[in-house]
């Protein structure tokens, strides 16, 4: 009779090899922590809802290459006294088959201050690095704000790079509408 322990070690090794990949995916930063990161010097953070007209939705598509999913978008505005310190959008999308959520933070002039991944449910090897995300810093929406333009591709994670770049482009176009309204 074989001792059950003979099967235990291979089973534990299989679980140990697969568990980190399966347990990895998920929430990285909460919304509250993300907004504190976005507006560290703000006295308050205001929620601003954009109700886009059909013409504004077409303008976002024309400027960003991405049609908004909905005419309703939520932005966050950091305030210090009566002065706007910046804007932020939390944008979710599907990369391959699973969701990811990014925070895109803009300065008052509409340039990207930084981009942060808040949740990533794809395998970890598809998640862009902080260094890759830093490419968006100080960028404004332009024809060159794209993978293959000002943004470098990620070997082995092309869909992640494209998805996040689309999210940044769309958020920048929406931010321009918000800034024009303010």
2 belongs to a structural domain: no
104 belongs to a structural domain: yes
10 belongs to a structural domain: no
151 belongs to a structural domain: yes
Measure the CA–CA gap between 182 and 174, rounded to whole angstroms.
13
Prediction pTM value = 0.85
141 belongs to a structural domain: yes
pLDDT for res 156: 87
15 belongs to a structural domain: no
Nearest to 169 by CA among 134, 150, 141: 141
Walk along the chain (182 residues) and give the pLDDT tens digit of each residue.
444 444 433 333 333 344 343 444 588 999 999 999 999 999 999 999 999 999 999 999 999 999 999 999 999 999 999 999 999 999 999 999 999 999 999 999 999 999 999 999 999 999 999 999 999 999 999 999 999 999 999 988 899 999 999 999 999 999 999 999 98
pLDDT for res 14: 37
φ/ψ (deg, to 5) at 164:
-65, -40
- Judged by DSSP in three states, 111 sits in coil
pLDDT for res 25: 54
Based on the structure, what is the number of domains in the chain? 1
Q: Quote the domain boundaries for residue 119.
A: 25-181
What tokens appear for 47 in the block? Answer: 């929620």
3 belongs to a structural domain: no
32 belongs to a structural domain: yes
């Amino acid at each position: 009779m074989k001792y059950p322990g003979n099967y235990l070690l291979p089973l534990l090794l299989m679980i140990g090899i697969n568990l980190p990949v399966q347990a990895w995916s998920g929430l990285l930063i909460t919304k509250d922590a993300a907004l504190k990161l976005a507006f560290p010097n703000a006295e308050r953070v205001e929620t601003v809802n954009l109700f886009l007209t059909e013409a504004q939705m077409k303008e976002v598509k024309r400027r960003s290459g991405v049609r908004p999913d909905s005419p309703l978008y939520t932005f966050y505005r950091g305030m210090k006294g009566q002065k706007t310190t910046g804007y932020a959008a939390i944008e979710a999308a599907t990369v391959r088959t699973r969701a990811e959520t990014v925070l895109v933070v803009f300065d008052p002039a509409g340039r990207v201050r930084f981009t942060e991944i808040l949740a990533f449910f794809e395998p970890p090897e598809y998640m862009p690095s902080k260094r890759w995300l830093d490419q968006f810093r100080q960028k404004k929406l332009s024809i060159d704000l794209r993978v293959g333009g000002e943004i470098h591709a990620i070997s082995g994670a092309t869909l992640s790079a494209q998805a996040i770049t689309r999210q940044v482009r769309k958020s920048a176009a929406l931010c321009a509408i918000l800034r024009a309204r303010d």
